Amino acid sequence: MSLELLLITGMSGSGKSVALHALEDAGYYCVDNLPPELLIPFIALQREREAERVAIAMDVRSGVSLPLVPQQLERLRGEGVSLRSLFLDATTDALVRRYSETRRRHPLSRHDGGVDAPEQQRVLVQAIELERELLAELRDGADVIDTSLIRPAQLQSYIKALIAAPESALTLVFESFAFKRGVPLDADYVFDVRMLPNPHYVPTLRALNGRDAPVIEWLREHDDVARMYGDIEQFLQRWLDALVRDHRSYVTVAIGCTGGQHRSVFLVEQLARGFGGRWSALKRHRELDAMS
């Protein structure tokens, strides 16, 4: 059995520690902040020990050696290591808020204090944007999870669902969300369904969601809903094979409505069911999951 390596990278403050805890619970041997220079010898050691699943977190704390990582990953793939890369992202506003709440210093920030709050925030934003540039290449080749609006428990659930998904040429993630809370950063495709009939304005349906039978039945009665589903399905059926040929292994399809409760949830459920027969299909409901 080949060694399974999960590399976790991402923005500082985006939840890498939470991700490592979830992976430890799932049986991975986890290492935080491994210097890139030690990656190849560390994996060689784990293979000698016949380890099966290893998770390693790397980020900008690795400094000037970070550009070594993509080449090292290709080398490991060539040596037969089963490798997956996960990138945790978040909006700049969310990261600024988290640093303000914890009063920790960003690893790229060089200010030692003694300045007013607006200046501190400006320096923090500059550090975050520099970090995005430094990590851009690692993000491009990774599965991305946007942690801006999700709780730590949600992130742990998403990661456990991802690693538990059966192996296939492509993993599809269908994600519902509310436009009023922002578009997910991890979305590869975004479909706006706010023009569809809205169960929110039906008093008996308002408190329910798109997984409840009365809402499902009501939405199925509207031709525009069926037409939207058909259009999204046709688009994905046309292009998924091309994505596989382009060596994509993970695609997130985000469906957004006003509140992320009825229409987007319904369509995510239907699409995951429809595509689950051929591909590995996961479901996320950003707003509903936050309430559970």
Determine how many CB atoms are found less than 10 A away from the CB of residue 226. Answer: 13
Burial 69-90, CB ≥16 within 10 A → b, else e: beebbeebeeeebebbbbbbbb
Known binder of ligand: residue 62? yes
Q: How far apart are CA 147 and CA 275, in angstroms?
A: 25
Known binder of ligand: residue 104? no
Known binder of ligand: residue 12? yes
Known binder of ligand: residue 47? no
Q: How far apart are CA 10 and CA 213, in angstroms?
A: 39
Known binder of ligand: residue 10? yes
Report phi then psi at 156, rounded to 5: -60, -40
Known binder of ligand: residue 109? no
Known binder of ligand: residue 17? yes
Determine how many CB atoms are found less than 10 A away from the CB of residue 131. Answer: 21
Known binder of ligand: residue 168? no
Query: In angstroms, what CA-CA distances link 210 with 214, 283, 289?
Result: 9, 13, 13
Known binder of ligand: residue 61? yes
Known binder of ligand: residue 13? yes
Q: How far apart are CA 255 and CA 139, in angstroms?
A: 22
Known binder of ligand: residue 16? yes
Q: Which residues are annotated as a binding site?
A: 10-17, 59-62
Q: Which residues are annotated as a binding site for GTP?
A: 59-62
Q: Which residues are annotated as a binding site for ATP?
A: 10-17
